[in-house]
Structure 1
């Protein structure tokens, strides 16, 4: 199995990077949609319905599949011999960043359910602030992997 993982390493790494890019795009865009949703519509109006369709499609068609594939290819990379030095700090920092992004993904999913139920009371300003969470996680992850401190 380890020989197979080693031979597939360039493919696994490439698919992991593509998955991360797609997931990050969603993590940046969904909170921005929530800003507009919170500020420009009321529960049940036509704009509310349009925002809900956009948010549902983004989450289900792009974000969930890309999060799952990011985790899948990331775990395959972790299992590939010689890729991760668990005695270093960087894999643990990266893991913390990935867990933070995963938490944020689920937090966004719960906020979408509140919009669907008409119970969202989070302001556009709060969504703007929360939109910085994936940026922080991205910085932690990229610097950890590239610098391998």
Structure 2
């Protein structure tokens, strides 16, 4: 049955990744703006709402969906290939480590969200500007592996 759903799983995985990446690229940009907001001011409160909605309403569900659909794709690929030995290729390890790093970055963003909510942010806007580039760097590793190496 999973083989018949392969194309749907792949489509849903790609959609989840798009939503997750959008959040991973946008949330640290909100943090850059939040660094300049006066605590308790109108901008501070507005950014807290935007950050909460982005993290809890888009990023968390899409990360979970990406992991679920990705795991189902792995299972489906093993069935299509006739066994799990196909996953011994070095590229699977690199991709998996990059996805783990992206998930770790997501959790760093979530921890920083809690700091902003509590009014205890201790990082500069420059640090958030650097963090803002990390998801794309990881995507530069993941996408060529999936599209070119693993096909």
Deviations 1:94-139 (A, max 9, x none): 1111101100111000001000111101111110001111011111
Shift of 1:54: 0.3
**Aligned counterpart in structure 1 of residue 48 of structure 2, from 52, 55, 58:** 52
- Taking structure 1 as the reference length, the TM-score comes to 0.93
1:63 counterpart = 2:55? no
Query: Could you list the runs of 4 or more consecutive aligned residues of structure 1 that deviate by over 4 angstroms after TM superposition?
Result: none
Aligned positions of 1:69-88 closer than 5 A: 69-80=65-76, 81-82=79-80, 85-88=86-89
Aligned to 1:109: 110
- Taking structure 2 as the reference length, the TM-score comes to 0.92
CA distance in 2, matches of 1:78, 1:144: 15
1:16 counterpart = 2:17? no
Query: Structure 2: 5+ residue runs without aligned partners?
Result: none
CA distance in 1, matches of 2:48, 2:59: 15
Taking only aligned residues, the RMSD between alpha carbons, in angstroms, comes to 1.2
Aligned to 1:34: 31
Shift of 1:82: 3.2
Count residues in correspondence.
Answer: 145
Query: Structure 1: 5+ residue runs without aligned partners?
Result: none
Is the 1:43–1:115 contact (alpha carbons within 8 Å) kept by the matching residues of 2? no
Deviations 1:34-54 (A, max 9, x none): 000012x12211111000000
CA distance in 1, matches of 2:102, 2:12: 18
Is the 1:88–1:148 contact (alpha carbons within 8 Å) kept by the matching residues of 2? no
Aligned to 2:127: 126
CA distance in 1, matches of 2:104, 2:65: 16
